[in-house]
Structure formats: structure tokens, C-alpha cells
Amino acid sequence: MRDNYLEEYYSFLRFPSVSTDAKFADKVRECAAWVSQKLEKIGLESKVVPTPGHPIVWARNKHRNGRPTVLIYGHYDVQPPDPLELWDSPPFEPVLKNGYVFARGATDNKGQIFSHILGLQETIEKNRDLPVNVDLVIEGEEEVGSQNLGKFLTDNRDALKCDVVLVSDTGMIARKTPTLSYGLRGVAALEVKVTGPKIDLHSGIFGGAVTNPATALARLLATLHDQNGHIAVPGFYDDVVPLQDWERESWRKLPIDPDSEMLEETGAPSLFGEAGFSTLERIWARPTAEINGMGSGYQGPGTKTVLPSHAMAKLTFRLVPNQNGDAIIDLVKKHFQKNMPTGVTLEMTSGHSGPWYLTDPHNKFGQAAQRALKKAFNKDAALIREGGSIPIVSDFRKILGVETLLIGLALQDCRAHSPNENFPLENLEAGIRMNQAVLEELAG
Ligand code: BES
Ligand code: MN
């Protein structure tokens, strides 16, 4: 790998392009400008398209008739680096240790999208052109639900007409093991707030005579699951399509040991999930209800004998085919209303949502991707679904009418969204080869 690749990658990583926090908005914009300039430097036409939120970078080569058009999608925004004290080195000052680059965004998604850019660069340098027509759409709002990208796709539907989309924002099942993901879970968010007394009260004077909102919320949240890890919201599973036999078979044969890897990576004392399903089935093919955060009452040092006035929790549900996010949120709201403890009021606000995605890894694009992965890694591709969500992928189908190839480069221990996020240079290099192989295979 060339020396200046690392320097450029570091420059990309130094932008704190945190999309969720308005105080970084300038940095997000500077990062977009940097990406766009890089794409111009390698010989593409590129522009930064403003949106009501963060801008979208849109670049392309000269399109020629008679060859396929490939849309490469990625994101330059990142998750917040917090909690900062858990990082071994500052999140926006990339460092290389034992072949791994540490920084927020090193994997998700800067490292992955940058390897595609370098792949394009090398091909253009070698052949003065790419083997296919290419559009790159690199957005700045993926980590906050891609609120403005759908409209961008609709507004530019004709200009973005393409044959297939390429996304490197998913995982590899193991080092040096190419992976084609053919499914993603969807996600739907709901915030609940339980309110009792009008102010925090003395728990000695009032405790026992009025409902404690923290207790009420705990009871309410506990109704989400039964003892076996099944979601207990009536109707929740009605639209769930069971896993196909070929998937269950082929997942069982994957060259990984999901349970022990998961134990090691998470540090949890044991695994737990919906009874009757394997770990991979639980994360790739079953829906979940998760509490992402909750708060109530006194959280400072020592004690405070208080009866809190309210309690809140942030929830998300991961969805699988054929569940509908709005319908699921409605079911949960009804369920909570029905199970409301007395003496408190309940407010529920639904948040962002994004659909699941499932495609056929054996169609002609999937086959091309599998050939390319084999070429780039010298190994057959593993075919998997993913537990994470990339909401815009279902819009590529709905708005542009095309399927998406998910050929990500993230490893289990890359720490995406966590402290000490990292990306092996080995994967940056593999990504460069993979980009070239995929475009060649898609060119036919
Ligand atoms: N790259 C991830 C999605 C992902 C993670 C795919 C793991 C496959 C495996 C993406 O950046 C992400 O984190 N998405 C969010 C979406 C949400 C904010 C709407 C997610 O999955 O939580
Ligand atoms: Mn991502």
C-alpha cells in the first residue's frame, strides 16, 4: 500500500464529523468538502449537495452507453466518541498500532468507503477510466437515520438511474473471510415517559401513598418480554417470515464459533436470547425489543430519599421481514397503554424508523459479487444476513428500483460505535482490491 494512502486516511479521520450533535455541524461540512475534493483529485466530477441537514457528496465518472451503472453508497458521518475516557488514544487523532488504525469512524464508515475511493483511484490511474459507469453517493446523516437522503434519491431519480448499488457498511464474519450480506434488520424507535407527582417528593412523607414512576416504568418495560426471551407484545410476530432451510443449513456451516466469539467480544457472563433459536438466528433473523437508555430520580453520589416525578426510557425494535415499523410501534403503544400501572400518566413519542432488507445472494449481481470476493480474498464468500440496519437500502429498491450488494469490511472486534474503534490496514488493502474486482465482474 502506498505511503500517502495512510496520511490521507488520517486526514479523513481527523474530522469530527459527528452528525447527531449540532455543535459539530461545521466539521461535518468540512469533512464533506474534503471527500468531494478527494473525488475530484482522482478524476471524478463531484459536488457537495446541501440538504436541510448535513450535505451529500455526489460524484461520477463520465457515463457511457452500453455499460452497467453502479451506485456506490457510504457515509462520512460518525457516531459520537463518548465516553471519551474509555479511549486509549484521542478518537480524532488516528494512530496505527499493530496494523490497526484507531479512530472514531476508522471502520464505520470512513475506512470502508475510503478503500472504495482508493480502488477507483488505482483503476483510473491504470486504465484512465473505470470499467463501468459509477455514481458515488456519500452522505452525512446515516448515523441519524438518513432523513434527507430519500428526498435526494427521489429528486434525482433519473440522474441516479443505475443497475445495482454497492455498500460497504456491513461486516465480515472473520479476518480474511469475504462476506456477502443479503439481509439487514430494520429499526423503529419509541421513547416513553411516565409521570406521577408534579415534582420530586420526599419519599418518607409521600412514599407508599403515590405511585413511584420509576417502579411503574420498570413494571411496564418488564412486560415487553416473557421469561424465555420472547417478545410478549400481542401480534408482534404475526408478520415474521421464518428463516429458509438453506439459510439455517449454511449458517450452521460457517467457519466461526458465534457463541464463544460473542462471549469474548461482549464480556457478558453468559449469553441470553429468544428460546429455540441459535445466536446467529437471534441476531440476523429474529426481531428484538431493546431498551437503549433509561433515566429517573437521583443519580448522583450518595443517597437521596426522593420519589421521582417521572421516568423515561428510549427503546428501539429491530425488525425482520415482513414486519412493518409503524404497525409494530402501534402494537407496542397499545400494549403499554393496556398494561399501564395506575397513578401515572404515559407519553409515547415514536422516533426514526427504517425498514429491513432482504435480497437473493444468488441472483446475477450476487453471483458477480461472489466471484469478485473470491478474486480479492482467495476464498469463497460467506453468505449471511446482518443484525444492524442501513435504512436507505430499502429506498434504493423502492425509489431507484435496484438491488444492493452489501460487501462490508467490518470485523467483529472493530468496535464500531464503541470506544477504541479500529480498522486493520489489511482490510483497507483488501477493500481496494475488492472494489476493483467487483467493478470488473459487474462490467462482465
Ligand atoms: N454500519 C452500521 C449498520 C450495520 C451494523 C450493518 C452492523 C451491519 C452490521 C450503520 O452505520 C449503523 O450503525 N446503523 C444504525 C442505523 C440507525 C441509526 C437508524 C444501526 O444499525 O443502529
Ligand atoms: Mn455505518
Contact 105, 78 (CB under 8 A): yes
Pick the residue whose CA is nearest to atom 5 on ligand 1. Answer: 388
> Which cell numbers hold the place of 303?
443517597
CA 70–ligand 2 middle distance (angstroms): 20
Pick the residue whose CA is nearest to atom 14 on ligand 1. Answer: 389
Question: For residue 242, which amino acid is it?
Answer: P
Contact 193, 336 (CB under 8 A): no
Name the closest ligand to CA 106: 2
CATH number assigned to the domain with residue range 3-184+356-443, chosen from the 4 options 3.10.129.10, 3.60.110.10, 3.40.630.10, 3.30.365.10: 3.40.630.10
CA 109–ligand 1 middle distance (angstroms): 10
Q: What pLDDT is stored for residue 352 in this prediction?
A: 85
SS (H, E, C) the chain: CCHHHHHHHHHHHHCCCECCCHHHHHHHHHHHHHHHHHHHHCCCEEEEECCCCCCEEEEECCCCCCCCEEEEEEECCECCCCCHHHCCCCCCCCEEECCEEECCCCCCCHHHHHHHHHHHHHHHHHHCCCCCEEEEEEECCHHHCCCCHHHHHHHCCCCCCCCEEEECCCECCECCECEEEEEECEEEEEEEEEECCCCCEECCCCECCECCHHHHHHHHHHCCECCCCCECCCCCCCCCCCCCHHHHHHHHCCCCCHHHHHHHHHCCCCCCCCCCCCHHHHHHCCCEEEEEEEEECCCCCCCCCEECCEEEEEEEEEECCCCCHHHHHHHHHHHHHHCCCCCCEEEEEEEEEECCEECCCCCHHHHHHHHHHHHHHCCCCEEEECCCCCCHHHHHHHHHCCEEEECCCECCCCCCCCCCCEEEHHHHHHHHHHHHHHHHHHHC
- State which of 169, 356, 386, 407 you would mutate to test the pocket of ligand 1, scoring each by most atoms of that ligand within 8 A of its C-beta: 169
CA 144–ligand 1 middle distance (angstroms): 10
Measure the CA–CA gap between 9 and 29, rounded to whole angstroms. 17
Residues of the chain below pLDDT 70: none
CA 111–ligand 2 middle distance (angstroms): 10
CA 142–ligand 2 middle distance (angstroms): 7
- State which of 104, 138, 142 you would mutate to test the pocket of ligand 1, scoring each by most atoms of that ligand within 8 A of its C-beta: 142
Measure the CA–CA gap between 31 and 13, rounded to whole angstroms. 9
Residue intervals in the chain for CATH 3.40.630.10:
3-184+356-443
Pick the residue whose CA is nearest to atom 7 on ligand 1. Answer: 388
> Which cell numbers hold the place of 142?
446515516
CA 186–ligand 1 middle distance (angstroms): 10
Beta-bridge partner residues of 307: 201
Name the closest ligand to CA 408: 1
- State which of 18, 107, 141, 143 you would mutate to test the pocket of ligand 1, scoring each by most atoms of that ligand within 8 A of its C-beta: 143
Q: What pLDDT is stored for residue 1 in this prediction?
A: 84
Task: Please list every protein residue whose CB sits less than 6 Å from any atom of ligand 1.
Answer: 108, 142-143, 145, 169-171, 187, 352, 354, 386, 388-391
Pick the residue whose CA is nearest to atom 4 on ligand 1. Answer: 388
Measure the CA–CA gap between 238 and 259, rounded to whole angstroms. 28
Instruction: Work out the burial of residue 371: count CB atoms within 10 Å of its CB; fewer than 13 is exposed, 13-18 middle, 19 or more buried.
Output: middle
Pick the residue whose CA is nearest to atom 20 on ligand 1. Answer: 389
Name the closest ligand to CA 325: 1
Atom of ligand 1 nearest to the CA of 316: 22
Q: What pLDDT is stored for residue 330 in this prediction?
A: 98
CA 387–ligand 1 middle distance (angstroms): 8
Pick the residue whose CA is nearest to atom 18 on ligand 1. Answer: 143
Measure the CA–CA gap between 108 and 415, rounded to whole angstroms. 9
Pick the residue whose CA is nearest to atom 13 on ligand 1. Answer: 143
Measure the CA–CA gap between 204 and 206, rounded to whole angstroms. 6
CA 337–ligand 2 middle distance (angstroms): 35
In sequence order, the 6+-apart residues with CB closer than 8 A to the CB of 427 are: 111, 115, 172, 409, 411
CA 378–ligand 2 middle distance (angstroms): 26
> Which cell numbers hold the place of 104?
472514531
Name the closest ligand to CA 390: 1
CATH placement of domain 186-240+287-351: 3.30.70.360
Q: What pLDDT is stored for residue 208 in this prediction?
A: 97
CA 229–ligand 2 middle distance (angstroms): 28
Name the closest ligand to CA 354: 1
Q: What pTM, to 2 d.p., does this model score?
A: 0.95
Name the closest ligand to CA 172: 1
CA 112–ligand 2 middle distance (angstroms): 9
Shortest CA distance to 334 belongs to which of 235, 433, 249?
Answer: 235
- State which of 112, 352, 389, 409 you would mutate to test the pocket of ligand 1, scoring each by most atoms of that ligand within 8 A of its C-beta: 389
Alpha-carbon distances, residue 323 vs 241, 396, 397 (angstroms): 9, 19, 17
Q: What pLDDT is stored for residue 262 in this prediction?
A: 94
Q: What pLDDT is stored for residue 357 in this prediction?
A: 98
Residue intervals in the chain for CATH 3.30.70.360:
186-240+287-351
Q: Other C-beta atoms within 10 Å of 84: how many?
A: 10
